[in-house]
Amino acid sequence: MTKIFAHRGMSTLAPENTLSAFSLCKQHGIQWIECDVDILADGTVVISHDDTLDRCTDCSGSLYDLTKDNLRDIDAGSWFHDDFIGEKIPTFDQLITLVNKHKLNLNVEIKSCTSGWKMTSRLLDNVIQALEGLEPNRELIVSSFNHLALSEFKRRRPNTPIACLFEDANLWEDWHSILEACQAEYIHPEDINLTKDKIDKFRSAGYKVNVYTVNDLARANQLFNWGVDGVFTDIAQQFPSKYKKQ
């Protein structure tokens, strides 16, 4: 069964990585969501792609200077559309509650916390703790571009399937040794310059392949015909019914 991942939620219908964006998945028949997680100064795990507030809120500055209380005063929706004025940056705990309620499956992308290894390690611990709240029948993949952090995650929670993310620019011939070192089950390559030959190599080495970010239906079709397992997309609502939950 091919997978469509709503990338940062239904991120062209609602502000990315917000509860509204994730809530919309169910009504569009999308089973899998992708979210990015990072950590605040007090250890709170939040859903955010960027480590600053500047692009997707009404504030600027670093996430790492905030505590959970500050989230009340930050608007993460008014930049997108008036319908989302007052939307908040969600905590990871809030997202897990939504995932359980809507019976979704979850790809957690651990962001490469830029405030150092101490906070990265704390992020891993706090993600692991929060995942205890995920109902056991929800499917889960944990991914990261930071393969050191991902490997450490796998060491701390070995039963969770993990995925090594690669940009086109760093998908070198050592991909296989990186996946082996991390004990990854998946490779998540960038779509740019991805060929059938590369996908054949990933699959014949035994890895499942989910490709990001695919915002073209014909390209998604081509990738699926080449054997990829899933695509991350910002336009999940445009995918035909054969990809969606019946």
Binding marks (x or -) toward ligand G3P, 125..144, rule CB under 6 A? Answer: ------------------x-
Strand partners of residue 39: 45
- Contacts with ligand G3P by CB under 6 A: the residue count is 11
Q: Which of the stretches 108-116, 122-130, 132-140, 145-153 binds Mg ion when contact is defined by CB under 5 A?
A: 108-116
CA distance 38 to 192: 26
Tell me which of 32, 202, 212, 243 binds ligand G3P, using CB under 6 A: 212
Binding marks (x or -) toward ligand G3P, 76..115, rule CB under 6 A? Answer: ---------------------------------x------
> DSSP readout, 119-177?
HHHHHHHHHHHHHTTS-TTS-EEEEES-HHHHHHHHHHSTTS-EEEEE-GGG--TTHHH
Q: Give me 192's structure tokens.
A: 């740019």
CA distance 82 to 39: 28
Q: Which residue has its beta carbon closest to ligand G3P?
A: 212
- Which of the residues 170 through 209 are near ligand G3P (CB under 6 A)? 188
C-beta of 77 vs 189, nearer to ligand G3P:
189
Please report whether residue 49 would count as binding ligand G3P according to CB under 6 A. yes
Tell me which of 232, 233, 236, 243 binds ligand G3P, using CB under 6 A: 232
CA distance 92 to 96: 6
Q: Which residue has its beta carbon closest to Mg ion?
A: 109
Please report whether residue 51 would count as binding ligand G3P according to CB under 6 A. no
CA distance 34 to 22: 9
Q: Position of tokens 């309620």?
A: 101
CA distance 160 to 163: 10
Please report whether residue 162 would count as binding ligand G3P according to CB under 6 A. no
